[in-house]
Every structure is written in structure tokens, then in C-alpha cells.
């Protein structure tokens, strides 16, 4: 018979739990408009690096052309970084100013 309180005697403490398995963040890959990169080149980039059909690629290219920017895919950090690198490298090798960036998804 002890006077010590039980370990679980404080009924007012509520322990918050949450699943520990957090998903890794995803990243949007964005294509930016410019005045010089030929439309056909952008369509080719979207087919080649983002697996789009010609029709899909043409539509997204037009969206970028009209709105200034569009999301062209959502990937893990590593894949997004690779895509951005591939596009920037390909554009540079063809001397086009096309810009591709990535942004963490909320
Ligand atoms: N604005 C370019 C033109 O008129 C076409 C273009 C579209 C360039 C999309 C970049 O991400 C881009 N030739």
C-alpha cells in the first residue's frame, strides 16, 4: 500500500498522436514563357521529357504562351530536379532562353 500516485493518475493529460509515416513533399515543375523560344521546340520538350502526346504538349505550350507559366508535372524532389536539369540543358544546347523551374507543393 503506497502513497505514490499511479503513473496514469493525471486524467487531464491527453496525448496527441499522429501517424508517423509522413509522405515526402511533392514538387511542381513549371515552364515559363519567353518571346524567343519557338513553339515547336517547347512542344518537343514536353513530348520528350514529360511523356505528353503531341496534342497534350501543344495545349500546354499554348497555355504557357498565353498565361506566362504552367505546371507541366508533379514529382518527387529528385525527379523534379532531374526534369528541370534536362529541360534547361536541352534549351541551352539549342540556344533557346526557355526557363523551367520547380516549386514545392503546399
Ligand atoms: N512565346 C513563345 C513564342 O511566341 C512560345 C513559347 C511558349 C515559349 C511556351 C516558351 O514556355 C514557352 N515563340
Per-residue pLDDT tens over the stretch 58-79: 999 999 999 999 999 999 999 9
CB within 8 Å of 78: residues ≥ 6 apart? none
Q: How far is the CA of 82 from the centre of ligand 1 (A)?
A: 22
Q: Is the ipTM of this complex over 0.90?
A: yes
If one residue of 61, 70, 71 were mutated to test the ligand 1 pocket, choosing by the most ligand atoms within 8 A of its CB, it would be 61
pTM of the full structure = 0.83
Chain segment 4-39, per-residue pLDDT in tens: 444 445 566 767 777 788 899 999 999 999 999 999
> Does residue 46's CB lie within 6 angstroms of at least one atom of ligand 1?
no
Other beta carbons within 10 angstroms of residue 33's beta carbon come to: 17
Amino acid at each position: 500500500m503506497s502513497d505514490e500516485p499511479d503513473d496514469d493518475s493525471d486524467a487531464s493529460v491527453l496525448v496527441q498522436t499522429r501517424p508517423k509515416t509522413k509522405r515526402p513533399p511533392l514538387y511542381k515543375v513549371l515552364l515559363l514563357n519567353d518571346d524567343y523560344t519557338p513553339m515547336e521546340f517547347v512542344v518537343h520538350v514536353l513530348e520528350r521529357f514529360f511523356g505528353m502526346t503531341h496534342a497534350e504538349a501543344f495545349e500546354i505550350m499554348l497555355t504557357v504562351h498565353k498565361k506566362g507559366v504552367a505546371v507541366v508535372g508533379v514529382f518527387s524532389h529528385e525527379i523534379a530536379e532531374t526534369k528541370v536539369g534536362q529541360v534547361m540543358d536541352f534549351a541551352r544546347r539549342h540556344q533557346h532562353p526557355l526557363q523551367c523551374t520547380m516549386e514545392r507543393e503546399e
